[in-house]
Amino acid sequence: MMKRRLFAAGAAVSLLAGLVACSDGESAVEGGAAGGGDGEVKSVGLMLQDISNPFFASMQNSLQETAEAEGIQLNVQDGRQDLSVQSSQIDTFIQQGVDLIIINAVDSEGIGSAVQRAKDAGITVVAVDVDATNADAAVTTDNVLAGTMACTALAEKIGGEGNILILEGTPTTAPRERVEGCEEVLASDFPDITVVGKQATTNDRATGLSVATDLLTANPDVQGIFGMNDPVALGADLALQQAKRDGVVVVGVDGSPEAVEAMTGGDTSLWATPAQDPAGMVDEAYRIGVDIVAGNEPEERVTLLDPSLVTIDTVGEYEGW
């Protein structure tokens, strides 16, 4: 079972600073720029797509624990699924002179110019959960594998034939790679399954509900739904309940507490979710960032963490986030 890991910062931190967490884009570093340029990390900016999502809240909580334990200054920013907001937040971090930015981008390619501005200012940037153009390194789940696992579980549950829907996500690497893994395994191993509808969501339950409702109306003969994450999958589950549709299998990705609650409650169409480790992921991104600041580059630019499949049959054994 994946465990939360707290990683040592390498070089000793000579100045202890209070932990600061905020989400309004204002300066959170007392006394101006914190970057010392001495190979040590004293201040970190953590940028998350949407803190209201429990997955990203888990990242925030984990890194806050690390910051408290190691005496570093932490500034947490909520990107609110808005590229322009995240771009402005990076500019604020540059002004503050943070030593390390850990970014969970809302747009993997669109954020590239802002990331480059930070690097030009001498700030190390590590992407987490989804890659970001120009980032020094990235730590993500193996999202192709997650999509493969989810759609294999879906295909096997519906007997290897029938029609399914795919609910995509925002323009970042993780949703794209999950759909890629899903479509690849369907094409290679389940030729009798047809994707009859595919549409983007904004990675949340509300658009999962609305998109699934529309696609189910347009495609009444559906046996399964792949949601690119658990909130989207749970939105699809609600759409099925509202339409009083039985016998449709739903899968997601995350292993979230909400998915576990649904799967243990019994009254759900959600069958499986490849579980991620958000706490371990952000801790690994921090460790790699600290190493880069100290002059030690990772062997591979992208570090992939394996998901673990959780189904209704095995959810009782899953420890969760």
pLDDT in tens, 194-230: 999 999 999 999 999 999 999 999 999 999 999 999 9
- Class level of CATH domain 43-140+277-305: alpha beta
* Residue of 259, 262, 193 whose CA lies nearest to 222: 193
Measure the CA–CA gap between 142 and 126, rounded to whole angstroms.
Answer: 17
Distances (CA, A) of 201 to 79, 154, 180, 229, 295: 17, 20, 16, 10, 40
Please state the domain extents for the chain.
43-140+277-305, 143-276+310-317
Residue 23: the pLDDT is 40
Is the pLDDT confidence value at 7 over 50? Answer: no
Is the pLDDT confidence value at 8 over 60? Answer: no
The residue among 246 and 30 whose pLDDT is bigger is 246
The two three-digit tokens of residue 119, written as one number: 């690097």
Same fold, 43-140+277-305 and 143-276+310-317: yes
- State the DSSP code for 54: H
**Buried/exposed code over 227-240 (b: 16+ C-beta within 10 A; e: otherwise):** bbbbbbbbbbbbbb
Read off the pLDDT of each residue in 25-43 and give the average, rounded to a whole number.
56
Is the pLDDT confidence value at 309 over 50? Answer: yes
Model's pTM, two decimal places?
A: 0.84
Q: Which residues contact 306 (CB under 8 A, 6 or more apart)?
A: 141, 142, 145
Q: What is the pLDDT of residues 98-154, one digit of tens each?
A: 999 999 999 999 999 999 999 999 999 999 999 999 999 999 999 999 999 999 999
Model confidence at 37, pLDDT cuts 50, 70, 90, reads: low
CA atoms within 13 A of residue 272's CA, in its CB half-sphere: 25
The two three-digit tokens of residue 42, written as one number: 């004293």
Model confidence at 251, pLDDT cuts 50, 70, 90, reads: very high
Q: Which amino acid is at 269?
A: S
The two three-digit tokens of residue 109, written as one number: 């390619």
Residue 5: the pLDDT is 37
Q: Cβ distance 125 to 101 under 8 Å?
A: yes
Map tokens 């949601």 to a residue.
227
Instruction: Say what the alpha-carbon torsion angle 66, 67, 71, 75 is, to the nearest 10 degrees.
Output: 170
CA torsion sign, 252 to 254 to 257 to 258? negative
Q: Which residues is 78 bridged to in the sheet?
A: 48
Q: For the domain 143-276+310-317, what is the CATH code?
A: 3.40.50.2300
Distances (CA, A) of 298 to 40, 112, 207: 17, 20, 37
